[in-house]
Amino acid sequence: MVGVGSPYGDDSLGWDVVRRLRLHPKIQQLPSQEVVIQCADRPGIDLLNMINQANTAVIIDAALSDFPPGTITRLEKDDINALLKSTSTHDFGVLETIALGRALNQLPERIVILGITVGQENIVQNDFGHKKMALSKAHMDHFINIIVEELENLLPKEISYDV
């Protein structure tokens, strides 16, 4: 799992989600050799190196879209081509990188991209002057629960949670 972004503004949303996700009790039960959770600072095509050895990759990123801020959009490998005109806050974004990986035959068997829509509403400014969408704890908890549920559905049964 990769939280894509940067330390600045809304682009840090992927990182924020991944940091919170690492603390989730169900995630902490997973074997670290089977489930890798990391942040990537605007990785561009380096994202391919981060995911190409995985069976399944989950990518979390802030996204620009016509949906209301806080909306989660779920994409799989086959959804990418239709959206290439889209939406990342990076120059060579996640969607372009996945399309390149497909052309080079360097993708995991399964990819799920969870884009969290950011927008101009409810913006707060941090101590460094970077503006960021204000998310309530309830919003963040909702994101985390959706991602945990996604992982439960993606993981092979032999790598499941003890619940």
The structural domains of the chain, with segments of one domain joined by +, span 2-159
Q: What is the pLDDT of residues 46-57, one digit of tens each?
A: 999 999 999 999
Residue range 72-84: mean pLDDT, rounded: 78
Alpha carbon distance 33, 27 (integer Å)? 13
Q: What is the pLDDT of residues 23-70, one digit of tens each?
A: 999 888 888 778 889 999 989 889 999 999 999 999 999 887 788 878
Give the containing element (helix H, strand E) for 35: none
DSSP label at residue 67:
S
Give how far Cα 36 sits from Cα of 85, 89, 129, 147, 161, Å.
30, 24, 32, 14, 15
pLDDT, position 90 = 47
Pairing mode of beta strands 56-63, 2-5: parallel
- Structural fold of domain 2-159: Rossmann fold (3.40.50)
Q: What is the pLDDT of residues 81-138, one digit of tens each?
A: 666 554 444 457 888 888 889 889 999 999 999 988 876 544 444 444 555 555 667 7
